[in-house]
Homo-oligomer: A and B are copies of this chain.
Amino acid sequence: MPKRIPVAPESTRCSTCMLSELCLPLGMARDDVAKLDELIKERIRIPKGSALFHLGEKTEAVYGIRSGSLKTQLEDASGQIQITSFLLPGEIVGMDGLLDNVHLSHAIALEDSEVCIIRIDEMDELARHLPVLQQQLRRLMSKEIGRSHQLVMALGALRSEQRLAAFLVNLSQRLSALGYSASEFILRMSREEIGNYLGLTLETVSRLFSRFARENLIRVRQREVHILDMHGLQALAGTDCG
């Protein structure tokens, strides 16, 4: 388990960060975002495959993803694992640990990544003079609840092909919001991880990719995905019907 590496802070602050439309500052006034510069003073580099935090560790902060991507996963008493999210830049990780300040999940980097540390005690301190900050965290937590509920819906109500279609559409939209192509991207997770996330086996996921390709919905080459028929995918996922 490689260690966390603090990063010199001079480089980038919230006020100058490209992600400030999405991350903690989401929807905040320009002046208020500038005040976040005194909150976000440290970052951490996480090498691919290593953990930002583990289940059971003390929660002292939540983290805004600056670059790279992570997964979070639960682990039960028998060692069974369930991935509960794949996280992209601008998204916040660690909010499940704020009940008793103990992490309930593992957060693991899918590639070399960097996260900004948002210390909870310092955030409370700053929030005295910047009440909007509490509302901000509240909104982000509400977003996380909604995201998790969507996953419950996928697992409880959708069939395998719909789950994978919804997964691809969702990923595409999030990457698009970051300024990347909505139709061409590289998956940072394995078939097995996708399967675990969607409650399927890796074989089923693989077969579905092949089938989607056969039906000209997508083109796949290993982890490289081209979406050819976004409308068709959305129809499959059941998330269109506008």
Contact = CB atoms under 8 A, between A and B. Distances in A.
Contacts of A177: none
A137 interface: yes
Nearest to A104: B146
Contacts of A78: 238, 241
A29 interface: no
Chain A interface bracket (under 10, 10 to 19, 20 to 34, 35 or more): 35 or more
Question: How many copies of this chain does the complex contain?
Answer: 2
A242 B139 CA distance: 36
B198 A146 contact: no
Contact of A146 (B96, B150, B156): B96
B152 A151 contact: yes
Interface stretch (A106-114, A127-135, A222-230): A127-135
- Summarize A's interface: helix, strand, loop or mixed: helix
Interface in A125-161: 127-128, 131, 134-135, 137-139, 141-146, 148-153, 155-157
A55 B7 CA distance: 43
19 contacts: A76-B153, A76-B157, A77-B241, A78-B241, A84-B149, A95-B142, A96-B149, A98-B141, A98-B142, A99-B142, A99-B146, A124-B131, A138-B141, A144-B145, A145-B145, A145-B148, A152-B155, A156-B197, A156-B198
